[in-house]
């Protein structure tokens, strides 16, 4: 069986600086792969190259065995690849429910049916289920911009799952989220991973969060993979310790 995501020999340079250097890895169905590394190690750039936000200098990206290198983010999303961003990215002037409907509507029907069909593209129920699942019921009608940071973070994640994606790339889902909400978020992510057979790739600085959530971890430093393995293996790897402590 093909891996859900396969990255082969990916390079990305900005001028003379190479942000990602010869990165190759695979992610299999149902896995939760963590990507860790110091700031500036190329994690987000790697995400942006995989997702078509940036054009890789060299290398290939395959989703379910199909080459997706060079596809636009919207095309990739419609193939079932979804993401969250490091910095909050909700639509502040739309209500929570509208944000979620938007996140699903482009997966329904055609341009034409979206013009003449139902206003909610038949997604109100699905949006409400997502609102329930992420415990946003009391703010469902509020404009997203008025929510607290933690709530927006949950909404951001909920939007990524709205269309029932096959693969989700989460860029620092735990950043700035308090401890209670963090446990909650981890529990939601695990539930979706198990119930929907969704595959995750997670960039995260919060070690406790990453170690407890992920099944496998890649360590990036200066654009290259320096270690890979289970959380326990990675934790005890001297190279990883060195990259983090710096010598």
Partner 1 sequence: MKLTDRRVQAVAGLLLVGVLIAAPLGLKPHGIYLLSMWAVMSIAAIGLNLTLGYAGQISLAQAAFVGIGAYCSAILTTSYGWPFGAAFVMAALLCFVIGWLLGYPALRVQHHYLAFVTLAFTTLVFLVLRNEEWLTKGIYGISGINRPNLFGWSTKAPRDFYYFCLIVLAGVSWFTWRLVRSPWGRAFMALRENPVRASSLGVDTRRYTLMAFAIGSALGGVAGALYAPLVEFIDPTPFALSLSLNLLLMVIVGGSGYFFGPFLGAIVSVLLPEWLRFTDGLYLIIYAVFVMALMVVCPAGLLGLVEKIFKPLSKSGKAAP
Minimum CB separation from partner 1 for residue 234, in Å? 28
Q: Which is nearer to partner 1, 1 or 111 (CB)?
A: 111
Look up residue 104 and give its two tokens. Answer: 């699903």
Minimum CB separation from partner 1 for residue 40, in Å? 21
Q: Which is nearer to partner 1, 119 or 179 (CB)?
A: 119
Minimum CB separation from partner 1 for residue 60, in Å? 21
Q: Which is nearer to partner 1, 75 or 132 (CB)?
A: 75
Minimum CB separation from partner 1 for residue 77, in Å? 4
Q: Which is nearer to partner 1, 51 or 220 (CB)?
A: 51
Q: Which is nearer to partner 1, 36 or 90 (CB)?
A: 90
Residues that bind partner 1 (CB under 8 A): 51, 53, 72-74, 77-78, 82-83, 85, 88-94, 98, 101-103, 105-108, 111, 114-117, 119, 121, 142-143, 145-147, 149, 152, 159, 162-163
């Amino acid at each position: 069986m093909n891996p859900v995501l396969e990255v082969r020999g990916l390079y990305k340079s900005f001028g003379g600086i190479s942000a990602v250097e010869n990165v190759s890895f695979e992610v299999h169905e149902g896995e939760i792969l963590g990507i860790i590394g110091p700031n500036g190690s190329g994690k987000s750039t790697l995400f942006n190259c995989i997702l078509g936000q940036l054009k890789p200098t060299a290398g290939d990206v395959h989703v379910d065995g199909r080459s997706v290198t060079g596809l636009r983010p919207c095309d990739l999303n419609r193939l079932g690849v979804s993401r969250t961003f490091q910095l909050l990215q909700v639509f502040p002037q739309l209500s929570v429910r509208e944000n979620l409907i938007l996140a699903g509507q482009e997966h329904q029907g055609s341009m034409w049916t979206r013009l003449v069909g139902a206003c909610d593209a038949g997604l109100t129920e699905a949006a409400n289920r997502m609102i329930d699942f992420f415990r946003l019921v009391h703010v469902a009608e509020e404009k997203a911009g008025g929510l607290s940071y933690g709530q927006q973070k949950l909404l951001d994640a909920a939007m990524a799952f709205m269309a029932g994606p096959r693969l989700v790339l989460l860029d620092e889902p735990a950043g700035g989220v308090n401890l209670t909400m963090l446990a909650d978020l981890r529990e939601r992510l695990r539930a979706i991973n198990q119930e929907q057979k969704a595959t995750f790739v997670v960039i995260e600085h919060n070690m406790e969060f990453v170690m407890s959530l992920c099944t496998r971890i890649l360590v990036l430093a200066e654009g290259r993979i320096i270690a890979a393995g289970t959380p326990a293996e990675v934790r005890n790897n001297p190279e990883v310790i060195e990259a983090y402590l710096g010598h």
